[in-house]
Structure 1
Amino acid sequence: MGASDMDRMEHHTHHAHGEHGEHGHNHGTASASWPMAAQATLHCLTGCAIGEILGMAIGTALAWHNAPTMILAIVLAFVFGYALTMRGVLRAGLGLRSALRVALAADTVSIAVMELVDNGTLLLFPGAMDATLSDALFWLSLALSFAVAFAITTPVNKWMIGRGKGHAVVHQYH
């Protein structure tokens, strides 16, 4: 990260917490609203869903077993989650290396929680891991797993944003 990128990030960080009314301070932490947390979670869910569906489609099409298919889906969920964040911060003028660092800081915990929950839900859902792309069970269990992951990850994101972490890091570039 170049000095100018660091200066710009530091400048934005200082202003992001003091200039926006929705980011008021509360005992040294920024307050986070539920809509803000839900928006951050929806952003993560979008990247995760793209990656997961693509990974499951590839694994199923190649007749892979469940474990490698799930690993591919998780890897792609992280890739697409980070890519969506990087797209926005690159547009805001950050260099590639800085944009990657912002994406890692903004999304890693959120995507990890989301992946743990949604894949855990799929593992617990009877028959979901054996369903194919043409089965309604595949799509229903996937939709349920995303809904459960959204419900559990939103409070995590609210807590992190309230402490100036997670999507609070990237919010300044929007």
Structure 2
Amino acid sequence: MQVDAAVARVERLFEPARELLVPVLSEPSVLAGWGVVVAVTLTVLWWDLRTHNQAIPSLMKAVWTLTVLYSGPFGFAVYWYAGRTQIPEDSLGRRGFRSTAHCYSGCGAGEVTGILLAGGLLGLAVGWVAAATFGFAYLFGFGLTVGPLVQEGVGLREAVVDAVYSETPSITVMEVVAIGADLLLAAEAAITDPLFWGALAFSLSLGYLAAFPVNVALICAGVKEGMGNPAQMA
């Protein structure tokens, strides 16, 4: 009962935002326009990576591709500010943006997988959708951290321990915000509804914004190193 009451209070608190956003995100023309914008932005990203930033490792190229795929121009702006070899100097903010993008790329893939399976295809209850989506997001984000560490020669046990304490806070905040926003906006939407996809895209970017200060704090505390300075790869 206490959980239901808390959920009801949250829904009432964000009802004005829901009333504003749901009609917009439900418009097929808005979804189609967003798809075009993302496609153009991805094309520009790949051109820049191929033409000016070939020195960036393949993993980070994949990270930036997924970040732009999820967040379009916002993701590209993050790449331009923090991810290119042409940045004038590195900074805590740029390290935070790169670290968040790394987490975001894996968690976003997991979230999309979870929402599609649990909500879109299986039609599970809201609680199960949230749990399954969080599980997929954590698994994907966790794997994207452990895998590269093992490839670099770090032992599996050490890599797992490092991933647990360095990624859990960021993943948790990102997914609580993203999943919560998505369910608030489109809990009843079917996979064929524009709102299903519009709310998913919108909520992903909210998750990134929520996780950014967490990653900055983790870097400041020495828990995370942040991704390497791309300017040093040129």
Fold match by TM threshold 0.5: yes
| Partners of 2:114 and 2:168 in 1: CA distance | 19
Distance in 2 (alpha carbons) for counterparts of 1:94 and 1:102: 10
Which of 43, 52, 57 aligns to 2:116? It is 57
TM-score, structure 1 normalization:
0.73
Instruction: Tell me what 1:89 maps to.
Output: 149
> Structure 2 residue aligned with 1:154, among 193, 206, 212?
212
- Which structure's relative contact order is higher, taking Cα pairs within 8 Å and 6+ residues apart? 1
- Hey, what does 2:98 align to over in structure 1? 39
TM norm structure 2:
0.55
Deviations 1:43-74 (A, max 9, x none): 11111111111111211312322221221110
Change (3 A) 1:47 1:144: same
Which residue is 2:131 aligned to? 71
State the match for 1:141 in structure 2: 199
**Once the 2 structures are TM-superposed, how far is the Cα of residue 38 of structure 1 from its aligned partner?**
0.9
| Deviations 1:71-110 (CA, angstroms, capped at 9, x unpaired) | 1110111000000001110111012111111111220000
CA distance in 1, matches of 2:168, 2:227: 15
Contact 2:126 2:183 in 1 (8 A): no
CA distance in 2 between partners of 1:62 and 1:115 (Å): 20
Structure 1 unaligned blocks of 5 or more: 1-30
The code of the aligned residue for 1:75 comes to G
Change (3 A) 1:69 1:123: closer
Q: In 2, Cα distance between the equivalents of 1:105 and 1:68? A: 25
Q: Which residue of 2 aligns with 1:119?
A: 179
Q: Distance in 1 between matches of 2:194 and 2:101?
A: 24
Provide the residue aligned with 2:188 in structure 1. 130
The answer to whether structure 1 residue 98 and structure 2 residue 155 are counterparts is: no
Change (3 A) 1:171 1:102: farther
1:134 Cα deviation from its structure 2 partner: 2.1
CA contact (8 A) 1:51 1:77 kept: yes
Distance 1:68 1:32 in 2: 40
Matched residue SS, 2:158: helix
> Which residue is 2:87 aligned to?
none
* Percent of aligned pairs sharing the same letter: 32
Aligned-residue Cα RMSD (Å) equals 1.9
**Runs of 4+ off more than 3 Å:** none
Can you give the 5+ residue segments of structure 2 that lack an aligned partner in the other structure? Answer: 1-89, 229-234
